[in-house]
Structure formats: structure tokens, C-alpha cells
Amino acid sequence: MPKYEFRVNGRAVSVNSWDPGQPLLYILRNTLGLHAAKFGCGLGQCGACTVLLEGKPVRSCVTPVQQVTGHAVTTLEGLGTPEKPDRVQAAFIAEQAAQCGYCTNGMIMATTALLHQTPHPTPGEAKHALSGNLCRCGTHTRILAAVIRAAKA
């Protein structure tokens, strides 16, 4: 069975899969037990499955495991811990930027990528960076406030 080696949250992993096109999301959730990235649409349109690949946000539901071989993947679990959340997670908590929470993984991962590229984004830049992440609960105002809070942290 083919083996795929890459790094997840700073740790080297080696996974087997008969299908080189198997979505990274399934490897993360089913093989590695990392459940922050969610299955939303399965088409890369909602953002619930967002992870960082070499620091760039990607949709893990449409990213084949073969594509991540030799690269670094960061999931929400790799940013902080419940005891010590990173600055973006802490800002989302402080702003109460989650209602149902299903989109939160994607919003936090997209925000993390944005702040690495643009440390002090304008509200317009934040909206643009998050535009591919769907939230059906209507917490957009709090999410944007969390992005700006994290940028100031």
C-alpha cells in the first residue's frame, strides 16, 4: 500500500492509502484523530475543513493526500491548546465569535493565514480573506471583531 509522509502540527506522520486522491480531511479525521477540520460541503466551497499547507489556507476536503507529501500541514489543534490558546483562538473566545461553531475552524485558520501575510489588516482585507468561509449563524460581526482583536494582540 502506498505510504505518504508529511508533517502535521510539527510532527512527522506516515500514512497508508490505496488512493493517492484520498482527501486530506479523511486522513486527518479518520487516521490521525484530528477532528477540528469539519466536513461541510465536500466541494471546497464552505471552508469548514480549512487547514494550512505550508502556511497557506487550503480546503482539506478537496486536497489529495498525495499533494501534501513532504509538506507541513497545520490544523486548529496545532495552533494552541484549551489551556493556552494562540492569539487568534483567544480573540475568537473573547469576542464570542461562535454560535453553532461549525465554521469556526475555517474562520480561525483563514484568520491565522491572513495575519501571517498581513499583520494589521483593515476590516475590508479581513472580509476579503474570510469571504470563502461560510457562516450560517450570522456571527460575522463578532468574527470580524475577533480578527481585528487578534491583529492587535
Residue 136: pLDDT above 90? no
Kindly state the average pLDDT of the residues 15-29.
96
- CA atoms of 105 and 24, how far apart (whole Å): 15
This prediction has a pTM of: 0.94
Q: CA nearest 30: which of 60, 69, 68?
A: 60
Q: Could you tell me the residue ranges of all domains in the chain?
A: 3-76, 87-152
pLDDT at 1: 84
Residue 5: pLDDT above 90? yes
* Domain topology for 3-76: Ubiquitin-like (UB roll) (3.10.20)
Write the CATH number of the domain with boundaries 87-152: 1.10.150.120
Kindly state the average pLDDT of the residues 89-112.
95
pLDDT at 86: 96
> Where would I find the beta strands (DSSP E) of the chain?
3-8, 11-16, 50-53, 56-59, 72-74
Judge whether 50 and 133 are in contact, CB under 8 Å.
yes
Judge whether 75 and 8 are in contact, CB under 8 Å.
yes
Judge whether 123 and 143 are in contact, CB under 8 Å.
no
Averaged pLDDT score across all residues of the chain: 95
